Amino acid sequence: MSKKNIIIYSLILVFGLSAPFLFPAYKLQISILWVLTILALTWDIQGGQMGYNSFGNILFFGVGMYVCSSVQIGMFFPLSEWTASGGEKTFLHTTSQYFQGFTYGLIFAGIVPAIVAALIGYGILGLRGHYFAICTLGIGIAAGEIAGGIELIGAGQGMTVPPWPKGIGGTELRSQFFYYLCFLTVCVTFFVIRLIYQTRFGLVINAIRDNEDKAEAMGIHTMRYKIIGWVVSAFFLGIAGGLMGNMIGYIEPTEIAFAGSTYGVFMVLMAILGGKGTLWGPVIGAAVFHVFKEGFWTFFLGWQYVALGALIIVIVIFFPEGILGWFREKYPENFGEVVDEVDRTAQVELT
Amino acid sequence: MDFLIFKAPILMVQASMDGILLGVLFALVAYGMALQWGVMNIINIAQGELVIMGGYIAYFMYTAGIPPAFGVIVSPIIMYFIGWSLYKTIINRVVERDMFISILATFGISILTQQLMNFVFGADVVVAQSNFGTTMLFDYSVTLPNAKIFSALVSIVFAVALVLYMKKSKLGRAIRATSQNQRAAKILGVDTEKVYAATFGINAALCGVAGSLIAITFTLHPYIGLPYTVRSFMIVIIAGLGNLPAVALSGIGLGVFEEFADYILGTEFRIAAVFLLLVVILVYRRFKLSRKREYLK
Amino acid sequence: MRNLKLSIVLLSGFLLAFSSIAFAKVKGDTITLGAAVSLTGKYSTNGKNTKNGYDMAINRINKLGGVIVGGKSYKFKIIYYDDESNGGRAAQLAERLIKQDGIKYMLGPYSSGMTKAIAPVTEENKIPMVEANGASRSLFTKGYKYLFAVLSAANQYLEVAIDLAVEKNGGKGVRIAMAFEQDAFSQDVKIGVVEAAQRTGSEIVIDDNLPKELNDMAATLSKVKALKPDVLVVSGHTKGALTAIRQLSEMRVNVPMLAMTHCDAGKLSKQHGEKAEYALCAAQWHKSLTYEDNYFGNGMDYDRDYTAEYGSAPPYQSAESSAALLVWKAAFERANSFDTEKVRDALAKTDMQTFYGNIKFSNTGQNIAKPMVLFQVRCDGGKCANKVVAPTKWASAKLVHPVPTWSNR
């Protein structure tokens, strides 16, 4: 690790650890920023590095959210009674029950989506290009509609997640707890993804993006790698979903869990905004997007979706390579690339 | 699950008739999709929004006191120009690039137009009254709203007219030539830029017709476009590009499937059934092709 | 390059921290309330109705002397955010209002779903909220202490209709067909209908759920036609009401009683005219009710002033929203303080009459002093209007039962 790298990582670490004390009013906002970063990072495994533009990764987010709270509740109380008649009955978790349930909930929130990804991956990752994009779009929306029809998890009424146990400190402690959990998750996600990009896996999925047929001809089992990539995404997305559900406190099928029209779109947009196919791009994209959104968006009162639509159009038409990609074009030497000017101009003329 | 439909066969007749009339309408939208996909290699996510916009034009006429059925004439004309100007401002910048860019760009258009329609027309659910009455069959046990019959007939008329236009007119031949081989057409003097603009305009016009028919048969509100996009996408991948009879058939098939899903699974799972059918068809075709080591292109 | 990344990350942090201006809860002579309402998305029509109701009430209160606390007059002000008809966003914005903007007094959003998303946040932060549009009964069984609802619970919406049908049937149980949207509000209405059915010994013959993107309910109506129930109950916000009438008339489905919600928000009598005649609708409020207060006068006055201000007649969503502000004002004056706990206690003791109805909260925060009204769409020479048929105290027309068949209309 270079010296500069260490400085950057430690600065982010210091910011992440001290933020709740520096900006106590913004704890939830920054926690959501970390969750958004996870969404963008995991989307980029498919969309950026592998060339499989998925519109349906929100599926794993939603599954994780429902699995997490179902486990939290189901371990101690009958789930069907918890959700009956719109959640009229209330059961209280004791402190130990709460944390025990939450731990198991998060574990399952990671594992179940990963299993789902492995199961459907073989069928769906065989599709290419826009067929894959539209197919995943269909899965994401269908999942929300189906969840909205299942009585056990509250159907269209949604379900409430267990409230923070009374008697161990109030809302401050709660938001701090979730803040650090989100920060921890985003750090783990980042370093796991960074690690796997440095191995053979990273090279293979790049090869799939650049030319899948050739990669196959070289004797690589591309399907295996594609599924592994999806499973990794699903695992972290599921945990992010479990965290998000608990932070919000209320789960609704199409607007919060399988929120294709918000988080589903945001994750694609953030990765592209920052620069898809790079490690830091999604992180930067998420930060810029979230700041923009919370800083200005909220005051648009109704115009924000016009702005979002226009933003998408402008980004894909004029900056399809994103912020990092733009800098990479402009200052390639900063990215450790050596540019032969003669060769470069020759190539430009060719294209 | 509800199996009432199997106990009362007359419901099956009703469902099939409803499905056929609905499917013809889907097929019209899907034909526009197939056209632009074939010619410009673009998947237009905003297709559904164009449909709804066309519907609002008919509704607007209705509020101004003109019978909304005339929307099928006015709406395509306005929508042609909207489509044409959309092409000139946005689509021409994505048309020869990666398809993912066109998907995302049209997705942006879709979000933007939804919200603009919300501002212009309000988020209210609106209906336009055609007052066409109802046709009864089999001693009042099967009812077919005349508005639906009207909409199916109009769809057929427009589809046939378009096929003839594609065969006979100069522009139509240029469009077909471009879809077969864009480069060769260019070399032979076809102004592909103009062809693209016209194609997108025609697609928007077809959506306009469909939309004004939806205004008099169902309900309109700004956020209901996406299911129409997905349905037309699905019809096109089942039927293949540029195969009109197949588009019509699979459109009707989808309509009937949806109506039966309504009865058997329940209306709340209708959208899910459509989207899952899409997934199943895509995955089925992928496995079929992968035996020959090919894939969907 | 690394410096670039660094500066972007740092810049983001700072922007995030300072991107919003902090508002004080009571500053100078204004009391600031916070509200997240739906201005975009599927609930934006009713979100706008809610906002209009709030705005009309603060203008009126400020014009007529404001809120007198400690002998000084204060003006109301509301910070609005757009929750995009999305519960997750609503919860996030509630937190933002409380933590970043320093709001101490909240107003409710539109719809039960949004209120269910916001209530845990306000409760946890001990911020009192007076809400006017979250009718779900499950809001009142959680033991929330800081939530006050000026409206009747959702399960009461159509109970009356079932009771009426049973009464007309000579006290014997009836056969009920139900179609309810898959959302928090409609499912709560359903709970009420199911309970009423059990109580009266009625039988539910059709139990269908409708999707949120409803525009075709032919399947349900065909079943109705085949099974011939005595009552058809439909609840699916405005699109449910509009779709049901359109397809009932087109498919010539005869049913002796048709009960719905959201008829006035959907402008049923205007959009469908005579086709909508005889539909029974549940509402929280109707302009012909004879309640009064010093700010808006009675329902008719409210109707007139609202129409002058916003160009259309007020649906009950606006009326109940205006009433929420009257409750706030009275509570501040009775508490004579800005302390949230004291204001909360004053809110809990509310017992007042407004143009919208009597308001008195149970200890779970539910308004128990106001009955629901049921009206029927009646047409006279092509002009249709909503006439109250129940409760009998305000009835301006007699219930027509059974509904004439389509061939006799």
pLDDT digits (tens, 9 = 90+) for C120-137: 889 888 899 999 988 888
Asked whether the predicted pLDDT for residue C1 surpasses 50, the reply is: no
How far is the alpha carbon of A280 from chain C, nearest alpha carbon, in Å?
8
In a domain, C160, yes or no: yes
Whether chain A has a CB inside 8 Å of the CB on B33: the answer is no
Residues C311 and C326 in one domain: yes
Is C92 in Cβ contact with A248 (below 8 Å)?
Answer: yes
Q: Please tell me the total number of residues recorded for chain A in this structure.
A: 351
- Hey, what amino acid is at A83? T
Q: What is the mean pLDDT of residues C196-223?
A: 87
Sign of CA dihedral A198, A201, A205, A206: positive
Q: Which residue has the tokens 């329902």?
A: C299
Q: What is the mean pLDDT of residues C252-270?
A: 84
Comparing B101-105, C136-140, C201-205, C263-267, the range with the smallest average pLDDT is C263-267
How far is the alpha carbon of A204 from chain B, nearest alpha carbon, in Å?
20
Q: Give yes or no for a contact between C399 and C161, defined as CB atoms under 8 angstroms apart.
A: no
Query: B278 to chain A: which residues are within 8 Å by CB?
Result: 134-135, 138
- Bridge partners of C179, per DSSP, are C208, C234
Whether chain C has a CB inside 8 Å of the CB on B115: the answer is yes
Res C19: pLDDT: 45
Res C24: pLDDT: 46
Res C26: pLDDT: 67
Distance CA C179, CA C206 (A): 8
Q: What is the largest CA-CA distance in chain B?
A: 63
Residues C335 and C273 in one domain: no
3-state SS, one letter per residue, for chain B? CCCHHHHCHHHHHHHHHHHHHHHHHHHHHHHHHHHHHHHHCCCCCCHHHHHHHHHHHHHHHHHCCCCHHHHHHHHHHHHHHHHHHHHHHHHHHHCCCCHHHHHHHHHHHHHHHHHHHHHHHCCCCECCCCCCCEEEECCCCEEEEHHHHHHHHHHHHHHHHHHHHHHHCHHHHHHHHHHHCHHHHHHCCCCHHHHHHHHHHHHHHHHHHHHHHHHHHCCECCCCCHHHHHHHHHHHHHHCCCCHHHHHHHHHHHHHHHHHHHHHCCHHHHHHHHHHHHHHHHHHHHHHHHCCCCCCC
Structure-token pair, residue A164: 């923070």
Distance CA C164, CA C186 (A): 20
Which of A5, B215, A249, B17 has its CA nearest to residue C94?
A: A249
Q: Is the peptide bond before C128 cis (omega within 30 degrees of 0)?
A: no
Q: Give yes or no for a contact between C399 and C378, defined as CB atoms under 8 angstroms apart.
A: no
C 218-277 → B contacts, CB under 8 A? 218-220, 222-223, 225-227, 238-239, 242-243, 246, 250-252, 266-267, 271-273, 275
Sign of CA dihedral A84, A74, A186, A324: negative
In a domain, C1, yes or no: no
Q: What is the mean pLDDT of residues C356-382?
A: 87
Is A305 in Cβ contact with B115 (below 8 Å)?
Answer: yes
Residues C274 and C182 in one domain: yes
The HSE-up count of residue A228 (CA atoms within 13 Å, CB side) is: 13
Residues C177 and C118 in one domain: no
Is B286 in Cβ contact with A317 (below 8 Å)?
Answer: no
Across chain C, what does the average pLDDT equal?
85
Asked whether the predicted pLDDT for residue A312 surpasses 90, the reply is: no
Per-domain residue ranges of chain A: 3-320
Is B283 in Cβ contact with A124 (below 8 Å)?
Answer: yes
Res C23: pLDDT: 43
- Bridge partners of C336, per DSSP, are none
Q: Give yes or no for a contact between B171 and B195, defined as CB atoms under 8 angstroms apart.
A: yes
Q: Give yes or no for a contact between B50 and B204, defined as CB atoms under 8 angstroms apart.
A: yes
Whether chain B has a CB inside 8 Å of the CB on A320: the answer is yes
Give the number of other Cβ atoms within 10 Å of residue C55's Cβ: 18
Distance CA C252, CA C229 (A): 15
Top pLDDT among A287 and A294 is at A287
* Cα distance from N-terminal residue to C-terminal residue, chain A: 37
Q: Is the peptide bond before C402 cis (omega within 30 degrees of 0)?
A: yes
Is C181 in Cβ contact with A15 (below 8 Å)?
Answer: no
Query: B105 to chain A: which residues are within 8 Å by CB?
Result: 312-313, 316-317
How confident is the model over B277-289, as pLDDT tens digits? Answer: 989 988 888 888 8
Checking DSSP bridges between strand A159-160 and strand C129-131, what pairing results, if any?
unpaired
Top pLDDT among C85 and C108 is at C108
Res A351: pLDDT: 54
Distance CA C74, CA A145 (A): 48
Which of C97, C134, C160 has its CA nearest to residue C320?
A: C134
3-state SS, one letter per residue, for B142-176? EEEEHHHHHHHHHHHHHHHHHHHHHHHCHHHHHHH
Asked whether the predicted pLDDT for residue C409 surpasses 80, the reply is: no
In a domain, C185, yes or no: yes
How confident is the model over C35-55, as pLDDT tens digits? Answer: 999 888 778 888 889 999 999
Asked whether the predicted pLDDT for residue A296 surpasses 80, the reply is: no
Res A191: pLDDT: 93
The stretches in chain B having pLDDT less than 70 are 1-3, 139, 242, 297
In a domain, C111, yes or no: yes
Res A235: pLDDT: 96
In a domain, C34, yes or no: yes
Asked whether the predicted pLDDT for residue C111 surpasses 90, the reply is: no
Res C313: pLDDT: 85
Prediction pTM value: 0.89
CATH at residue C47 = 3.40.50.2300
Distance CA C39, CA A300 (A): 10
Enter the DSSP assignment of C393: G
Is B90 in Cβ contact with A306 (below 8 Å)?
Answer: no
Residues whose CB is less than 8 angstroms from the CB of residue A170 and which lie 6 or more positions away in sequence, other chains included: C124
Query: C219 to chain B: which residues are within 8 Å by CB?
Result: 15, 259, 262-263, 267
Residues C230 and C377 in one domain: yes
- Hey, what amino acid is at C224? V
Helix (H, G, I), strand (E, B) or coil at A265: helix
- When scoring A27, A39, A88 by the number of chain C Cβ atoms within 10 A, the one with the most, hence best to mutate, is A88
Which residue range forms the structural domain that includes residue C276?
156-287+372-408
Query: B257 to chain C: which residues are within 8 Å by CB?
Result: none
Structure-token pair, residue A89: 């009955």
Whether chain B has a CB inside 8 Å of the CB on A223: the answer is no
- Per DSSP, helices labelled H in C278-406 are 299-310, 316-335, 340-348
Distance CA A278, CA A45 (A): 9
Is A157 in Cβ contact with C184 (below 8 Å)?
Answer: yes
How confident is the model over C50-73, as pLDDT tens digits? Answer: 999 999 999 999 999 889 998 889
Query: A28 to chain C: which residues are within 8 Å by CB?
Result: 92, 95-96, 99
Identify which of A244, A252, A296 has the shortest CB distance to residue C113.
A252
How confident is the model over A207-258, as pLDDT tens digits? Answer: 999 999 899 999 999 999 999 999 999 999 999 999 999 998 888 888 889 9
- Size of the A and C interface in Cβ pairs below 8 Å: 179
Query: C179 to chain B: which residues are within 8 Å by CB?
Result: 267
Which of C256, C311, C313, C317 has its CA nearest to residue C283?
A: C317
Res C10: pLDDT: 53
In a domain, C338, yes or no: yes
Residues C42 and C82 in one domain: yes
In a domain, C7, yes or no: no
Q: Give yes or no for a contact between C162 and C192, defined as CB atoms under 8 angstroms apart.
A: no
In a domain, C2, yes or no: no
Whether chain B has a CB inside 8 Å of the CB on C295: the answer is no
Q: Give yes or no for a contact between A165 and A94, defined as CB atoms under 8 angstroms apart.
A: yes
Q: What is the mean pLDDT of residues A23-35?
A: 89
Residues C119 and C26 in one domain: yes
Asked whether the predicted pLDDT for residue C109 surpasses 90, the reply is: yes
Is A305 in Cβ contact with B112 (below 8 Å)?
Answer: yes
Identify which of C43, C44, C271 has the shortest CB distance to residue B126.
C271
- CA torsion B55-B56-B61-B65 (nearest 10°) is 100
Query: B137 to chain C: which residues are within 8 Å by CB?
Result: none
Complex ipTM, two decimals?
A: 0.84
Indicate the number of domains in chain C. 2
Which of A133, A169, A148 has its CA nearest to residue A47?
A: A133
Distance CA B118, CA C40 (A): 8
Asked whether the predicted pLDDT for residue C374 surpasses 50, the reply is: yes
